[in-house]
Chains A and B, each alone.
Chain A
């Protein structure tokens, strides 16, 4: 079954640690996105990729970095976590073909808490 996976689902970590949030998809979609969302608040695009070796920063400035070495994999890395990074991080994909709908498909998210 085609799906989007995010690991870990929950992460509590101390300040200064390096972390990598994993996102993988079996949908074969070329476009992938990372959003940051505080509880009950709007979604902010922080990174996106339209294909392998293509990554761009989104509207919301973020200290995180991403890579896209394989189509199905889009990890997000924080070199030195800080309490201000505490949030939910959502990964999403979009199909290459326009089709009737142009929706994005979201993974379950990673809830990050930095102490």
Chain B
């Protein structure tokens, strides 16, 4: 089935530093989604990328979709303690692409 590799698994940063997580697929993707899960919480949808080379911004978060639509990144500028959590990428899978296959996630810790 569809697989997506996500790195790094963990990232510890000082507050104010930048953070980036990457997702890679061996196959071309129709789209890729990003979710955030706060400690003790549930995944919450952040964004979906569809177009080749697409770049979207949400305040300090920048999402990119590669030109070949096989990789994606999430970059956070000047991290804050509120950014703590695990960030997952997810790609469509299954018949009709109604399912999602999630990456293993990157757990972000922010040191105040």
Contact = CB atoms under 8 A, between A and B. Distances in A.
Bind each other: yes
Contact of A45 (B33, B44, B99): B99
Contacts of B45: 101, 103-105
A104 B33 CA distance: 10
A94 B92 CA distance: 12
B24 interface: no
Give the interface SS of chain B, mostly helix, strand, loop or mixed: strand
A48 B86 contact: no
A2 B101 CA distance: 25
A106 B105 contact: no
Interface residues of A, number: 23
B87 interface: no
Interface in B27-56: 31, 33, 41-45, 48
Contacts of B104: 41-42
A90 interface: yes
Nearest to B33: A103
A106 B42 contact: yes
B86 A40 contact: yes
Give the interface SS of chain A, mostly helix, strand, loop or mixed: loop
Contacts of A42: 88, 102-105
A50 interface: yes
Nearest to A45: B99
B98 A43 contact: no
Contact of B98 (A41, A50, A107, A108): A50
Nearest to B102: A43
A100 B48 CA distance: 9
Nearest to A107: B42
Nearest to B96: A50
Interface of B: 1, 31, 33, 41-45, 48, 86, 88, 90, 92, 94, 98-105, 107
Interface of A: 31, 33, 40-43, 45, 48, 50, 58-59, 90, 94, 100-109
Interface pairs A-B: 3 shortest CB-CB: A103-B45, A106-B42, A42-B104
